[in-house]
Structure 1
Amino acid sequence: MTMQSPPPPTPLIPESAPFSQEQRAWLNGFFAGLLSLDAGATPVAAGSVSLPGQDADDDEAPWHDPAMSLDERMKLAEGRPLKRRMMAAMAQQDCGQCGSSCEEYSASIAEQAEPRLNLCVPGGKATARMLKTLVEEMGGGVIDPEEHAAKEAARPPKSDDLRAGHCRESPVTATFVSRTRLNGEASVKTTNHIVIDLSESRLDYEVGDSLGVFAVNDPALADAIIAAIGAPADFPVMDKTLREMLIEDTALAPAPDELFELISYLTGGERRKKAQALAKGEDPDGDADTLDVLAALEKFPGIHPDPEAFIEALEPLQPRLYSISSSPKADPGRVCLTVDAVRYQIDGRLREGLASTYLDNRVAPGDPLKVYVQKAHGFALPQDGATPIIMVGPGTGIAPFRAFLQERLATQATGGAWLFFGHQRSACDFFYRDELEGLQSTGALSRLSLAWSREGDKKVYVQDKMREESAKLFAWLERGAHFYVCGDAQRMAKDVDTALADIVGTCGNKTPEDARAYVKALRASGRYQTDVY
């Protein structure tokens, strides 16, 4: 009688996991031993064991990609638990604007511990609308203030929550020191190097962190809104005047759905139908994306809402986060930012970014600022200074890498440092040129690759320079280099990711699937980190 061999153990690591065949075999054996899966044990289905950082119900969160549209993310999340669909509704940047990560913010809403649905600043109205729909699906969120307080008290505190200045709920007062324009007059942009004094607040930070700034609205914009609704500027609203509330406490762009609901009650006929449609997220005239609060009032002229009801219909003003562009070792007691002043025209009216123009022209040296430090979510230098680093940061994306280089210089890190920087024109958009050349002379910056998109006949971007130097870049990765990207999430970061996979495939002689698995493994191991917005 022939003895039958026992069936091979069911693999725990799925074939799609970002590991080689040898790595999968080792991990399958490791987890099998860990779980005591001997001949008598019940086999576990492939992929059912969660790897570090992987939730058992999210299949590695395939929607966690800031380059995806909201519709794409929600489609990938179909059939998942509610908290996962809420996570998919976020902007997927883990930027910290909400005070935590996309996953933590969505989980707190799903657990009915967070009633605010508008904290995802990059997600904007689209995220808030989707969250509202999902909250309604689960039967409602936190409504009663006492219930909210009880749920918050029951949640375990975050490590930094109890320190003043380390969360958005407890900002500290700092002092604005100076602004210096980084680009020449011929540049199409105004980019400022901002210096802020933290010495009196005793606020500390690490390279890779971001600084939250509580800006205030342009008083001229508040005055225009007051004129549009025909209300007195000194009308009392809560413990302030209407004008003070509009400047200090309310978001004036974009126009929220609740404002259109209020407008629909104050008008009739076709105008009411349009307001109702806008309140539902529809776009009857094709201009919904351009409507801030003033534009919404100008679209429905002649309405005179009660000032208190008007303020209640607006969203609270949110802080803005900026990547810190300094190391505390280089300039103790101070923090630096690199900020584009956002200005553009719509229908002949100048629109301005809230915090960027506040820092550009509405705050003066010596003025107080409300700020806090947002700890980085997986964006930091390697602990070993002998580890090489590759940094890709066009435009203001250079900010954290200036901090990295200052830190590496101060700590005498021996690993190589390679920066890919780009902008439009070298003559007027080469930020921190003298500093970077000085860092090259000291050896703190080993290689500097520059891309200028408005010089010559061909537009050259950072991903193009990566491809030009692909063999050296791949050699650095094979030496264990950490790879960092900072900047635009929708276009640049996606193009850099594609270029990286292509470089790995070509220089590493890998199939497209293996090249993507290599890049995915870099992310999983913490060697590929992004700070995108």
Structure 2
Amino acid sequence: MNPISAILPEDAPFSPEQREWLNGYLTGLLAPFAGGAEQAPTGIPITIAWGSQTGTSEGLAKKFAKAATKAGLQPSIVDLGEFDPASLTTLEHLIIITSTYGDGEAPDNAQNFHNFLHSDAAPKLENLNYAVLSLGDSSYPDFCQCGIDFDLALQKLGAKPIVARVDLDVEYDDDYASWTSSLLGELSSVEVASDDDDEDTGYNKKNPFTAEVLQLENLNAEESARSTTHVEISLKDSGLTYEAGDALGVYPINDSQLVDDLIDALGFDASEEIDGKPLSQLLSEDYEIRNITLPLAKAWAEASASESLSALTTADDRAALSDYLWGREIIDLVKEHPISFASAADFLAMLKPLAARLYSIASSPKAHEDEVHLTVGVVKYDSLGRERKGVCSTYFSERTDKAQPRVFVHSNKAFRPPADPTVPMIMVGPGTGIAPFRAFLEEREATQATGKNWLFFGNPHVAQDFLYQDQLQQLQKDGYLHQLSTAFSRDQEEKIYVQDKMIEHGADLYQWLSEGGHFYVCGDASRMAKDVDKALHQVIETHGKMSAEEAAEYVNMLKADKRYGRDVY
């Protein structure tokens, strides 16, 4: 009979080391109920700390804790935002599972821990054994950078890796299973069978629901330079449920013209079957055929024996490679650095699986039963004499008549409207960043919440790009949108952005925060979200009469109290 192992709730009022000790103590007390005191676990206690922006790392931390318990270990789980760095000197085994966010940054809840490890206050950690599992997307240049930073910092402080760090890409199931097996093999003598846990029931990422598109509408005026598609999808009979703040995962299909052009450029036969599917279908439905990731660029440089591409991929300064890759797709590699493939299967082996795209849900389930709405910015531009198209955005705007979207719900517990319906809510969502805040406002209207709501929205032109204008103005009339601050950047000579509006209304914004208000931002991570964060610090410093250090501590307090939510990409 397996021993019983206790895991205290994450919100239990104990420090990580106290929770670790209590988990072991309680496990010992429970042992007689598992068939006798002689079956008390002898496994070591481990602390599993997670850094997550959208919940994926948190989910993997809980999954790993289950596997560790089955292996006879004594795991405790802790949010890195609540982890006391001083306890590092008292721990013997630390497992870090973290994502990377924005431009190679730590998730919000892991920023303080990241700063501590790289500060002069970080102690020597010769007695600490650790492992790092890093999550990321190799389509981005700073792939898994936060996990890399943690790994290097811990080694520099003298900590010893139990197993080598593993960097997980978007499709990570096999690599996660291998890392789990290796790590548990080092920590325990108990063999644990592979466990797909409860994710295998119902529709999910591995088993998406084939949905029906109910409505598509361009939210921009015809003369606008932008195109934003409002998408309404039926979830009827799917059993899928979601909450305001969650995301919808969508598996798209690739543009058929790009598929045909790629096959022609490679000299393959579109009808050739590989694993029972024609090549054209595989490239349409199963593989990424646009973005050039760094691993692909390196592999292509080696296979093509291209000296120029090799120099770009091996240089310490990635700026030149980024400049080269901008506006280029895999078909450009095929033409500029040709490879003589022995077979189409060899070419496919170099590609990533076609990953789902996550979109912030733009509806409340309380307002739209059995439906989910999205706000999708259409990506189309010309580069190197060729029109380029975003895979999923043009799938909705141009190709949904060819296949029904396969979807699943991605929960984001860290991005929710305030649980207390009476507290103020401040939302900053320019462009398609308005999506979750439409959901938040619908949620507050459906529940007749009495808390004040303030939306900052921006786009280029009021006459062409005021997304959901009619609905927002109706919410104002109905008393559910108490303040709407807009920044239409190109309607005047001097450009105005949402962060400028925050500073303009700084006194009121700080008053709302002082009343317990929650602050949210959604949209571009590389520029907008950073500018908004800087403006937030400035508002607090100015109107709270604080020093820069005190304002930073105030913002950290907002994050610790779960009152500062970010859904940025």
Structure 2 length as normaliser, TM-score?
Answer: 0.70
Structure 1: where are the runs of 5+ without partners? Answer: 1-26, 36-49, 61-80, 96-101, 103-109
Q: Distance in 2 between matches of 1:460 and 1:341?
A: 23
Select the residue among 476, 492, 517 that pairs with 2:512: 476
Alignment of 1:493-532 (within 5 A): 493-532=529-568
User: Partners in 1 of 2:529 and 2:176 — Cα distance?
Assistant: 41
Provide the rounded CA distance (Å) in 2 between the counterparts of 1:489 and 1:427. 26
Deviation at 1:436, TM superposition (A): 0.7
Q: Where does residue 307 of structure 2 map in the other structure? A: 273
Specify the alignment match of 1:124 in structure 2. 140
Looking at structure 1, the residues matched to 322 and 234 of structure 2 have their Cα atoms a distance apart, in angstroms, of 47
2:265 and 2:335 in contact (8 A); partners too: yes
Deviation for aligned residue 1:288 = 3.5
CA distance 1:145–1:489, change in 2 (3 Å): closer
Which structure shows the bigger proportion of residues in strand conformation?
A: 2
Provide the C-alpha distance between the structure 2 equivalents of 1:128 and 1:520, rounded to a whole number of angstroms: 24
Give the secondary-structure state (helix, strand or coil) at the position aligned to 1:530. strand
Shift of 1:145: 11
Distance, in Å, in 2 between the alignment partners of 1:464 and 1:194 is 30
Q: Distance in 1 between matches of 2:176 and 2:564?
A: 42
| Alignment partners' CA distance in 1, 2:484 and 2:176 | 54
Higher mean displacement: 137-146 or 337-346: 137-146
Q: Distance in 2 between matches of 1:463 and 1:327?
A: 27
State how far apart, in whole Å, the 1-side matches of 2:279 and 2:430 are. 41
Distance change >3 Å, CA 296–CA 532, structure 1 → 2: same
Distance in 2 separating the partners of 1:520 and 1:196: 38
Q: 1:474 to 1:146 in 2, by over 3 A?
A: closer
Matching residue's letter, 2:423: T
Q: Report deviation, 1:55.
A: 3.6
Secondary structure of 2:358's partner?
A: strand
Partner SS, residue 211 of structure 2: strand
Provide Cα deviations, 1:64-108, integer angstroms capped at 9, x if missing partner. Answer: xxxxxxxxxxxxxxxxx895798689844869xxxxxx9xxxxxx
Q: Is the 8 A contact 1:394 1:420 kept in 2?
A: yes
- AA aligned to 1:299 is E
Provide, for residues 146-205 of structure 1, a one-character-per-residue CA deviation record: whole Å limited to 9, x for no partner.
9579679768877x7354234x22322211122100010221110010000000212111
Q: Is the 8 A contact 1:423 1:452 kept in 2?
A: yes
Q: Distance in 1 between matches of 2:202 and 2:432?
A: 28
What root-mean-square deviation, in Å, do the aligned CA atoms of Structure 1 and Structure 2 show? Answer: 3.8
- Give the secondary structure class of the aligned counterpart of 1:161: helix
Task: Find the aligned partners of 2:358 and 2:423 in 1 and give their Cα distance.
Answer: 29
The whole-number CA distance in structure 1 between the counterparts of 2:131 and 2:276 is 32
The 8 Å contact of residues 428 and 498 in structure 2, kept in 1 or not, is answered as yes
Structure with bigger RCO (C-alpha 8 Å, 6+ apart): 1
Confirm whether residue 206 of structure 1 aligns to residue 243 of structure 2.
Answer: yes
1:183 aligned onto 2:225: no
Q: Within 5 A, what are the aligned runs for 1:281-300? A: 287-300=324-337
Give the alignment's TM-score, normalised by structure 1.
0.74
State which drifts further: 141-150 or 324-333: 141-150
Q: Distance in 2 between matches of 1:197 and 1:143?
A: 32
Instruction: Count residues with an aligned counterpart.
Output: 446
Aligned mate of 1:344, from 381, 392, 397: 381
What is the CA deviation profile of residues 356-383 of structure 1, one whole-angstrom value per residue up to 9, with x for unaligned ones? 1111111129x52210100014100111
Q: CA deviation at 1:239?
A: 2.1
Deviations 1:217-241 (A, max 9, x none): 1111111111111111112222212
Tell me the SS of whatever aligns to 2:306. helix
Is structure 2 residue 238 aligned with structure 1 residue 222? no
2:199 corresponds, among 155, 161, 165, to 161
In structure 2, stretches of 5+ residues that fail to align are 1-12, 20-77, 89-93, 109-113, 115-129, 153-160, 167-172, 185-191
Distance 1:259 1:519, change over 3 A: closer
Q: Paired residue for 1:408, among 441, 444, 452? A: 444
Structure 2 counterpart SS, 1:434: helix
Structure 1 residue 254: Cα displacement? 2.1
Match of 2:365 among 307, 325, 328: 328
